């Protein structure tokens, strides 16, 4: 009966064991999860600990860096303050004057005692007065003045315009102006059209790049367009450091540049000199070797007069004999003559002079051809027995001329391609025969080479006249290094494109040059306005 009860019902012990086993397994699982959780926590704590250590190291490094940066920043701030103080302490203002264009007022130039000192004071006062309105108002800021001029030509121009009485008056003014202030200089650049201009351009660029230069006053550069291209490089700046001083009326193009345009009428002339408006040749005087027309005698008879009229002799008194004698007043002619003294014995007749008659009388002049003679006493007032030989020299070469347009650009004479002649082939053959050498331009086109036998170019090849014309044309296809500002009377290169019209476009060497820009001049730009003649100190304004 008991057996039937166990079979039909559940065993309590077995049920408890199963439940205990399940609970134990659950506890095992919880313990494993707890162990895993604790292990994960420990790993995270360890990782966080390492990270904290790294962050602490980074923080310490940042602290050190920040301290270093703060120290450096403080040092740099002090340096910036020191430099700013130094810049403001050593700042200055410069006045650049083209003395050929800007002339000081007549009252200063005529005062040979204190004129230069008064001009320096007036100029300095005018500059300081202008600075008060521009933010550069330090009363003690240095003012540097540089005047560049061709002193010889300027002295002559002032004298010819009756501003000064003699040339040394301007030289004395320049010397005293230089010595009036330690920062004032009047520089004589000598003869040359571009001497003053080139110095002004160089000094303008130098001072403009110097941050200590707070203001630049540019005087004498507005009377023509020579500085126009250079000043365009300084447009667009927001600092207004460049100021143009107008003396004589400025060209309209300068007003469009946007620079402040001022006038110091108490310092400079406001009108051009009288001899700058139109140059005249009517006042030219002839030197002591001006040619003399002499009467001609044929044989022993009366003196025969030349077909052209001559100056009548004027009677003068000899300082020794106190007797009246005659002398001829020189008058210019196309062919000068030279006079040389020969021996007192008359020259014998030569085969070239079969009909030469011996001179009669004690005093004669021989013309050198055996057939003409005049009284020596009549010509020179001398009673000694001697002859004078009159010889006709070689005709004088015409002076060289250079033309410039209204922009002060040199204008070349038109050129044409040499015609096709046998000279083309002969020139090319000679050119090929001297390779790798080339013909010396100075030797063949100027007639002289400063290097002489040391020149590395060919001098010994003979070129005919037509071949020289071909070589000259080839030289005219090259740009002169001085460009449109060249003042060399013997220059054989071109100063603008010689082709009219030019069809080479951007391949032309005169197109958009680095130094002078595009040198393809318009029809109006090819019209000359100024003519310089070799041997004359002043130009002629031809329109």
pLDDT level of residue 395 (50, 70, 90 thresholds): low
User: Is the CB of residue 479 less than 8 Å from the CB of residue 509?
Assistant: yes
Three-state secondary-structure class, residue 506: helix
The CA–CA distances, whole Å, from 338 to 265, 273, 289, 371 equal: 54, 39, 8, 18
Q: Give per-residue pLDDT as tens, 208-250.
A: 988 889 899 999 888 767 788 788 888 876 567 899 998 888 8
Q: Give per-residue pLDDT as tens, 462-521.
A: 999 999 999 999 999 899 988 998 999 999 999 999 887 888 888 898 888 888 888 999
Contacts of 243 (CB under 8 A, 6+ apart): 130, 215, 216, 217, 218, 259, 260, 261, 262
Q: Residue 508's CB: how many other CB atoms inside 10 A?
A: 18
Q: Give per-residue pLDDT as tens, 152-179.
A: 889 988 988 889 988 889 999 999 999 9
Question: Could you tell me if residue 236 is left (phi over 0), alpha (psi between -120 and 50 degrees) or otherwise beta?
Answer: left
| pLDDT surpasses 90 at 120 | yes
Q: Give per-residue pLDDT as tens, 281-312.
A: 333 333 333 333 333 333 333 333 333 333 33
Alpha-carbon span 536 to 543, nearest angstrom: 19
DSSP label at residue 43? H
- State pTM to two decimals: 0.42
Q: Which of 161, 281, 221 is nearest to 540 (CA)?
A: 281
Least confident of 136-145, 226-235, 363-372, 488-497: 363-372
């Amino acid at each position: 009966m008991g057996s039937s009860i166990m079979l039909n019902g559940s065993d309590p012990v077995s049920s408890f064991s199963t439940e205990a086993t399940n609970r134990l397994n659950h506890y095992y699982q919880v313990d494993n999860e707890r162990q895993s959780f604790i292990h994960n926590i420990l790993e995270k704590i360890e990782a966080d600990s390492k990270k904290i250590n790294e962050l602490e190291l980074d923080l310490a490094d940042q602290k050190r860096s920040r301290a270093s940066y703060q120290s450096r920043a403080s040092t740099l701030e002090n340096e910036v303050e020191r430099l700013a103080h130094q810049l403001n302490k050593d700042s200055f203002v410069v006045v650049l004057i083209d003395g050929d264009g800007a002339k000081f007022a007549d009252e200063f130039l005529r005062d040979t005692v204190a004129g230069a000192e008064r001009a320096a004071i007036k100029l300095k006062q005018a500059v300081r007065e202008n600075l008060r309105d521009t933010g550069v108002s330090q009363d003690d800021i240095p003012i540097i003045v540089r005047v560049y001029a061709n002193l010889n030509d300027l002295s002559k121009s002032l004298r010819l315009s009756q501003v000064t009485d003699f040339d040394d008056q301007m030289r004395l003014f320049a010397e005293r102006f230089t010595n009036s202030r330690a920062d004032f200089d009047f520089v004589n650049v000598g003869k040359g059209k571009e001497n003053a201009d080139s110095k002004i351009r160089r000094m303008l660029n130098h001072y403009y790049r110097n941050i200590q230069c707070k203001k630049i006053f540019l005087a004498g550069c507005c009377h023509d367009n020579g500085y126009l291209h250079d000043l365009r490089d300084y447009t667009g700046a927001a600092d207004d450091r460049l100021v143009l001083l107008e003396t004589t009326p400025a060209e309209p193009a300068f007003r469009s540049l946007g620079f402040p345009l001022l006038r110091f009428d108490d310092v400079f002339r406001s009108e051009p000199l009288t001899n700058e408006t139109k140059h005249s040749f009517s006042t030219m005087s002839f030197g002591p070797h001006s040619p003399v027309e002499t009467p001609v005698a044929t044989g022993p008879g009366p003196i025969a007069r030349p077909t052209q009229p001559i100056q009548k002799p004027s009677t003068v008194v000899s300082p020794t004999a106190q007797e009246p004698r005659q002398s001829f007043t020189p008058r210019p002619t196309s062919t000068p003559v030279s006079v040389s003294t020969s021996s007192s014995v008359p020259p014998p007749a030569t085969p070239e002079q079969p009909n030469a008659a011996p001179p009669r009388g004690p005093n004669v002049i021989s013309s050198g051809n055996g057939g003409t003679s005049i009284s020596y006493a009549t010509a020179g007032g001398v009673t000694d027995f001697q002859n004078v030989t009159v010889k006709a020299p070689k005709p004088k070469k015409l002076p060289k001329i250079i033309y410039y347009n209204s922009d002060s650009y040199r204008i070349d004479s038109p050129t044409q391609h040499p015609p096709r002649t046998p000279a083309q082939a002969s020139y090319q053959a000679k050119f090929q025969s001297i390779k790798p050498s080339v013909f010396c331009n100075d030797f063949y086109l100027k007639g002289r080479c400063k290097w002489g036998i040391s020149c590395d170019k060919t001098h010994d090849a003979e070129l005919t006249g037509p071949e020289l014309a071909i070589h000259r044309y080839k030289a005219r296809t090259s740009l002169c290094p001085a460009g449109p500002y060249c003042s060399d009377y013997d220059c054989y290169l071109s100063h603008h494109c010689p082709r009219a019209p030019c069809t080479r476009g951007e391949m032309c060497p005169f197109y958009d040059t680095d130094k002078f820009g595009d040198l393809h001049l318009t029809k109006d730009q090819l019209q000359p306005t100024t003519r310089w003649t070799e041997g004359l100190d002043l130009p002629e304004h031809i329109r």
